[in-house]
Chain A
Amino acid sequence: MQITITVNGAKRELEVTPYTRLLDLLREDLGLTGVKEGCGKGECGACTVIMNGELTASCLVPAPQADQAEIVTVEGLGTKDDLHPIQESFVEAGAVQCGYCIPGMVLASKRLLDEKPKPTEKEVRYGLSGNICRCTGYAKIIDAVMLAADKLAVEGSDSND
């Protein structure tokens, strides 16, 4: 069957089976390997994307269900030469170790900061509660989100697009 999705701003028409997971569609058909698989069961958050403005575990979404959806993956934020302030904060705060959870963490942070530009530490912890990291112990990831909030506040409201 045919579906239409908008991924990182580009409209795509794709042929899928009813069982194709959105995760595999993004990784294998579109080559967006920044979307990771950690559990395949909706537990770990490594496969997180922002779908129609909401954090979504792409391993749990059958591709046909994403028809007409608007999807943002980590590839849609910034590039190595032009990092999004959240990505920049993760680098600067030392929040990245093996990195496998990081695309999901960055997107969860984006979703949180879009809604709450000045979160408390508790709100940050809650906002990231769907994402498991086995390396860092979370402390520096939380620092990174707080740092990102400051950076975005300085840059002004238009950077929250």
Chain B
Amino acid sequence: MTDQNKRIKDYFCKHTTRCTIEGVKKSKRFVGHDILKADAWDKVTGEAVYPDDISFDDMLHIKIKRAVHPHAILKDIDISRAKKVQGVVDIIVAEDIPDVRQFGLIIRDQPVLIAPGEKMRYMGDALAIIVAETKEAAKKARDLIQVKVEELEVITDPFRAMEADAPNIHPDGNIVITHHLNRGDVDEAFKNSAIVEENRYQTQFIDQLPMQNEAGVALYDERHGVVDIWAATQWLHDTQADVAQSLRLSKDQVRIIQPTIGGAFGKKEDVSVHIHLAIAAMRTGRPVKLCFTREESMITQSKRHPITIINKTGVDRDGYLTAWETKFVGDTGAYASSGPAVVHKGMYHATGPYNCPNLRGVSHAVYTNNTYAGAMRGFGTAQGAFAYEQQMDILAHKLNIDPAEFRLKNIYQKDSITPNGQQLTHSVNAEETIKRVMELSDWKGGRK
């Protein structure tokens, strides 16, 4: 049928990113030289192998039945009609895999499949794995699965989630983690400030939207007890360890093989297709493939956190920052993912590249029934940047000074100390950068 059937070993390393050095001139130094990208030839000819380009003879196709409500107890799941669809090989529900454990990047709070009596917490939760001879059969069977649920209050706002009477999305409550930041005497400094400005900022969900959706192929070598998974990840060894603990295998029984990745931008830090693929491969003994549609990728996998930022900033008459108080409330959605790290990292960067002697901050990463939020370029700092740069502009206008001058007065220099106590002992070119921007943009002062 297909012209492209390759042998297993063809998929191991031949086509991955770092295996060729064509075009790289023998040179010890790279900075300042034009270096051609090693895998560009594969990519311009269409030869590069991405996860969904891998196929095996005798391969089965997987579809996932997902949650039918963002916050509900699963009462019953009926797969009897779905099983009768021609071409269906296996439909796996939670009771088929009683030993499988939860997974997650920082906190292992994500179930592999929701069992009756347990809760679905967002629309991406998986209820069943459908394995069939064709994609069409798997899809048809998926749509015939019947589910009964008991609906619970859907929490979409982290401030609601933090209220005392809000239902707990996870057993330990809705605040995943709280961090504090303290330096100097903030109250005293505000009292002595010429201007104090307090504002509330809100950022939104953003999908990282790599061009390639999550996809993968898996194969179980029963004789050696090893499962091979070809799928994208940004944390090869963490993914391997998480998949292994979830399936109660040792790490050397799980091989994650990284094909060419069609973009990630943080979205592919989390486990996506991996565990479902492994389970299906081990149960059926045949190669299996699972490709998310764009819609499924958007519903199921991580987002950039929407963060509410409340900034209170003081300045003296000469335009120097005196005190900064900040609060970060990050909506991490149904599962923690990288949220505990992202939200507090955002808070530690609350003052941006500006010196401020007195600081007080608190951050909460909060569960809701939204799609979970995780890593995306900047890891919390992009949200913070929106808020602190607005503060700087507003203060400059109130002081009636040039916003660029105001920034230059307060900008980090060598030996500045960041909010988390790091001294910048190496080169800091922030001042130079602002000056260059002023020059290039023919800056006229920006006063009201």
Contact = CB atoms under 8 A, between A and B. Distances in A.
B37 A91 contact: yes
A139 interface: no
Interface in A23-54: 27-41, 44, 46
A96 B37 contact: yes
B45 A87 contact: yes
Interface size class of B (residues with CB under 8 A): 35 or more
A41 B263 contact: no
A28 B46 CA distance: 14
Contact of A92 (B4, B36, B265): B36
A78 B43 CA distance: 12
Nearest to B211: A100
Contacts of A32: 46
A30 to B, nearest CB: 6
A71 interface: no
Contact of B3 (A31, A98, A134, A135): A31
B357 to A, nearest CB: 38
A29 B5 CA distance: 11
Contacts, number: 110
B41 A28 contact: no
Contacts of B210: 98, 100, 134
A128 interface: no
B178 to A, nearest CB: 34
Interface string A140-152: 0000000000000
Interface in B283-319: 293-294
Contact of A75 (B46, B260, B265): B46
B2 interface: yes
B137 interface: no
Contact of B211 (A31, A38, A78, A94): A38
Given A91-B41, A98-B210, A34 B294 contact: no
Contacts of A135: 211, 263
Contacts of B168: none
Given A33-B49, A35-B46, A36-B212, A99 B260 contact: yes
Nearest to A35: B46
Contact of B40 (A36, A79, A91, A101): A91
A74 interface: yes
A101 B209 CA distance: 13
B375 to A, nearest CB: 15
A90 B44 CA distance: 7
A79 B42 CA distance: 9
A113 interface: no
B328 interface: no
B52 A74 contact: no
A94 B42 CA distance: 14
Interface string A111-146: 000000000000000000000111100000000000
A28 B2 contact: yes
B48 A79 contact: no
B53 interface: yes
Contacts of B260: 98-99
Given A40-B294, A90-B40, A100-B50, A30 B262 contact: no
Nearest to B39: A99
A102 interface: yes
B415 interface: no
Interface string A71-101: 0011101111001000100111010111111
Given A29-B1, A33-B46, A74-B46, A132 B211 contact: yes
Q: Identify which of B53, B211, B265 gathers the most chain A CB atoms within 10 Å of its CB.
A: B211
Contact of B44 (A31, A40, A87, A132): A87
A57 interface: no
Q: Identify which of A28, A30, A46, A99 gathers the most chain B CB atoms within 10 Å of its CB.
A: A99
A64 interface: no
Contact of B52 (A37, A87, A94): A37
Nearest to A80: B41
A55 interface: no
B43 A99 contact: yes
Given A80-B45, A91-B44, A134 B211 contact: yes
B22 to A, nearest CB: 8
B60 to A, nearest CB: 14
Given A35-B46, A38-B212, 17 more contacts: A28-B2, A31-B3, A32-B46, A38-B213, A38-B294, A40-B294, A79-B45, A92-B36, A94-B37, A96-B39, A97-B37, A98-B260, A99-B48, A99-B260, A100-B50, A100-B262, A134-B210
Top 6 closest pairs, chain A to chain B, by CB: A34-B46, A31-B4, A99-B43, A100-B262, A33-B53, A100-B211
Interface of A: 27-41, 44, 46, 73-75, 77-80, 83, 87, 90-92, 94, 96-103, 106, 132-135
9 contacts: A33-B53, A35-B46, A36-B262, A74-B45, A80-B42, A80-B47, A92-B36, A96-B44, A98-B211
